[in-house]
Amino acid sequence: MGARNSRMKKIKDQSWRAGVCGVVLIILTAAGQARAQAVVEGVVSLPKAAPPPAKPPRYQGQAGEIAAPEPPLAVVYLEGRFPAPTNAPPKVQLWQKGLQFSPGLLPVQVGTIVEFPNGDDLYHNVFSYSKPKRFDLGRYRKEDKPAEQVFDRPGVVKLYCEIHEHMRATILVLETPHFTRTDTNGHYRLANLPAGRHTLKVWVDDRRTLERAVELKAGETLKADFPGQ
């Protein structure tokens, strides 16, 4: 009986060790794959910020000054054939704060759900007449919850506020999962990219989209700048 118990204990110990080793192997494999993915980084030449109006607008119910708009940024994205997403569509927020949209430029993947919370103590309205997404949320206050919008078609969606005519924002709806915004100096970094030949694109504004062919190698960082024209 004692010998049988000893054999059973030995078998359980071996099974436990095998399970632990399997988990460790999976973790190491995943870490190795993460390290093997490619990175691309660089600098984009950004347009100059528009000068502020000589006489800022004043609106009924406005308290304090209107916040400065977001400085010019660009969206950098990798175009190619990538696996279809398996997770549920993400949900992001585009705020209205200081009588400005925040962020002023929002890149999202097709299928993303966007919320438009009001952070100001007055009414706002969000609408768009852009072909990829036409909607009008009506007027609502901070305590109200406007309807969420699903951005299910690629393209450029321009946002406006019916009450505050100076407010502007852009949602760039992309078919790729690989994208990022530059910082205010034009620097960008795209990580966790698949190796291979792809097209790297930069959306600067409605009039300028730049692109170049790139070949990404696993575990390496490619430098790709987009200087001014």
Residue 219 within a domain: yes
Which residues lie closer than 8 Å to 74 by C-beta, 6 or more apart? 44, 46, 181, 182, 186, 188, 202, 203, 204
pTM above 0.85, yes or no: no
pLDDT at residue 229, as a whole number: 61
Positive or negative, the CA dihedral 128, 133, 134, 136 is: negative
Residue 110 maps to a domain = yes
Residue 9 is predicted with a pLDDT of 57
Whether residue 192 lies inside any domain: the answer is yes
Can you give the pLDDT of all 229 residues of the chain as single tens digits? 555 556 555 555 655 555 544 443 343 334 444 446 999 999 999 999 888 777 778 887 787 788 889 999 999 999 988 887 788 778 999 999 999 999 999 999 999 999 999 999 999 999 999 999 999 999 999 999 998 999 999 999 999 999 999 999 999 999 999 999 999 999 999 999 999 999 999 999 999 999 999 999 999 999 999 997 6
How many domains in the chain? 1
Cα 86 off chain centre by: 17
**Residue 2: per-residue pLDDT:** 56
Considering only CA atoms, which of 87, 115, 98, 97 is closest in space to residue 171?
115
Please state, as a whole number, how many other Cβ atoms lie within 10 Å of the Cβ of residue 156. 16
Reduced to 3 states (helix: H, G, I; strand: E, B; else coil), residue 171 is strand
DSSP secondary-structure letter at 53? P
We report the CATH number of the domain holding residue 109 as 2.60.40.420
> Which residues, listed in sequence order, are joined to residue 130 by a DSSP beta bridge?
133
HSE at residue 110, side-chain half, CA atoms within 13 A, is 10
- The answer as to whether 87 is a domain residue is yes
- Structural domain of 155: 38-50+61-223
Confidence (pLDDT) at 38 = 97
CA–chain centroid gap for 145, Å, is: 23
The predicted pLDDT at position 90 comes to 87
